[in-house]
Amino acid sequence: MFSYYLDLAVRSLKRSPGLTALMVLAIGFGVAASMTTWSVFRAVSGDPIPWKSSKLFVPQIDVWGPQGRSSDGEPPNAMAYPDAMVLMRDHRAKLQSAMYQISPSVVPAQAGRHPLNVSGHAVYSEFFPMLDVPFLYGSGWNASDDTQRTAVVVISSKLNQKLFAGANSVGKTLNIESKDYRVVGVLDNWNPQPRYYDVVNSGGFSATGEDVFLPFERAIEVGMSNDGNTNCNAVPAESGFVGLQHSNCVWIAYMAQLDDAAAVTAYRNYLDGYAHAQQQAGRFGWAVNNRLRDLPAFLDNQHVVPSDTKVSLLVAIGLLLVCLVNTVGLLLAKFLRRSGEIGVRRALGAPRSAIYAQFLTEAGIIGAAGGVLGLLLTGVGVACVGWVLPKSIATLARLDLPLLALTLLVAVVATLLAGLYPTSRAARVQPAWQLKSN
């Protein structure tokens, strides 16, 4: 029976090619616009570490008091050095790391090659297991390297390719800021987006990955300056990088892994206890105002998804909606024009369900055709996002199988929904009326 309806539908669509083309175009453009903007939205709003994000927490300590808070009463989104060091020393979470952004120069060992500028982070050893960072060769360093400030480095596979031609470079030496570091690990391809461990500095997204990770205290000791944001509520009393470390300026990102609700509560109490102690010591002259958000909540709080992306998606969905209303109107016209034919079929004994099946098949074919057109246009759209979006975001939008499947599904389901009302009107056609008036 279905093949018969297919045949009927194709014949009917051929009879009015203009109207059919119009409906297919409308569905195609509507779906393509929605899917292209969706691919961008999906890329920027995805959970960068879905298996673990609910266990990763970002503590915030109100080091500035009421004067330094933003209008919504939020404490600073980064940490001052003294607080970060106490939190690291107390070590109350299962895994934790303070970190700051660095941008050292690397001098290749081969003579005659120009020095490179690389970016990276100074982190603690627990950074790697906490974030399940994948290694191609070697591993991270251990806790004793943290405290002994060992000159070790973890490099990206890209830098490894550039400097060591992709070979296992563990144990080799790398000249960073004129000092020698021993390579202990080479990362597998790792550039999570958003760069969730430090969204404050990356703004969330960055087209190029990070190349080096050094022990935090080592970087501090050699005076490797902060390449990320530094926010101060007062000019530091002492000058230089050491002055920054003694100040209340915030420039350190912090992350802790807390496995269950009890651990979260305990950590929250610990943070509040710390703020109380600072109050008693006279450093904080205000009520405790800490935050401890899990990663998804923190990303949301930091508005990591650009609002432009949301606006684009909304407007594109609006376009799809208009296209569907348009399709409802055109299908209605198309179906009711065939009232005579429906009347004859009904009079010859076709039940209403047969009319439903026939016309929904027709709507489905239009949806499928629109979906195929939508697929092509989505391909074009995703290829073109580089023109209209910054590189860091445009490179994230990808055309993959789920997106293709979703495009077809949305097109067919939306058109079937649009076809429901016209079909129900067609099924209600009175056979007697039609036969008489002809």
Partner 1 sequence: MPHIKPILAALKRHKAGTILIALQIALTLAIVCNALFIIQQRVTRLSRPTGMDESNLVAIQNRWVGVTDAAAAGVLTRADVLALRQMPGVQDAVQVNAFPLRGGGWSTGVRVDVDGKKPIAHTTQYFMDEHALATMGVKLIAGRNFRADEVVTTDPDKIQTSPQAIVSKALADKLYPDGSALGKPIYLGDDRTPSTVIGVVERLQVPWGAAWTDDFAENSVILPVQLTGNFSTYLIRAKPGQQAELVKAAPAMLTKLNRLRVITGDRGVRTFEVVREQAYKSDRGLAILMGVICLILLAITAAGIVGLTSFWVGQRRKQIGVRRALGATKHDILSYFLTENLMIGIAGVVIGALMAVGLNLWMVTQFEMARLSMAYVAAGVIALLLLGQAAVLAPAMRAAKVPPVEATRSV
Of the residues 52, 54, 135, 177, which one makes contact with partner 1 according to CB under 8 A = 177
Residues 200-239 touching partner 1, rule: CB under 8 A, are 225, 234-236, 239
Q: How far is the CB of 326 from partner 1 (least distance, A)?
A: 4
Nearest alpha-carbon partner for 320 in 371, 285, 365: 371
Of the residues 24, 186, 219, 323, which one makes contact with partner 1 according to CB under 8 A = 323
Per CB under 8 A, does 383 bind partner 1? no
Whole-angstrom Cα distance, residue 223 to residue 137?
28
CA distances from 346 to 166, 181, 389, 408, 428 (A): 73, 85, 55, 33, 10
Nearest-5° Cα angle at 320, 316 to 322: 115
**CB neighbours of 156 closer than 8 A, spacing ≥ 6?**
186, 187, 190, 209, 210, 211, 212
Q: How far is the CB of 234 from partner 1 (least distance, A)?
A: 6
Per-residue contact string for residues 17-56; x = within reach of partner 1 by CB under 8 A: -xx--x--xx--xx--x---x-------------------
Residues 97-156 touching partner 1, rule: CB under 8 A, are 105, 107, 114-117
Of the residues 3, 70, 307, 353, which one makes contact with partner 1 according to CB under 8 A = 307
Token pair belonging to 147? 């405290």
Asked, as a colleague might, if the bond just before 306 is cis with ω within 30 of 0, I would say: no
Of the residues 3, 71, 144, 178, which one makes contact with partner 1 according to CB under 8 A = 178
Of the residues 260, 308, 398, 413, which one makes contact with partner 1 according to CB under 8 A = 308
Of the residues 42, 55, 195, 334, which one makes contact with partner 1 according to CB under 8 A = 334
Measured from the CB atom, the residue of 47 and 177 that comes closer to partner 1 is 177
Helix axis angle for 401-427 and 17-45, nearest 10°, is: 140
Of the residues 240, 259, 405, 432, which one makes contact with partner 1 according to CB under 8 A = 240
Residue type, 358: Q
Residues 4-23 touching partner 1, rule: CB under 8 A, are 18-19, 22
Per CB under 8 A, does 337 bind partner 1? yes
**CB neighbours of 377 closer than 8 A, spacing ≥ 6?**
28, 29, 31, 32, 36
Nearest alpha-carbon partner for 132 in 210, 50, 215, 218: 50
Q: Where are the beta strands (DSSP E) in 48-94?
A: 56-60, 79-80
The length of the chain in residues reads 438
Measured from the CB atom, the residue of 134 and 386 that comes closer to partner 1 is 386
Q: How far is the CB of 133 from partner 1 (least distance, A)?
A: 24
Q: Which residues bind partner 1 (CB under 8 A)?
A: 18-19, 22, 25-26, 29-30, 33, 37, 105, 107, 114-117, 177-178, 225, 234-236, 239-241, 243, 306-308, 310-312, 315-316, 318-319, 321-323, 325-326, 328-330, 332-334, 337, 387-390, 421, 425, 438
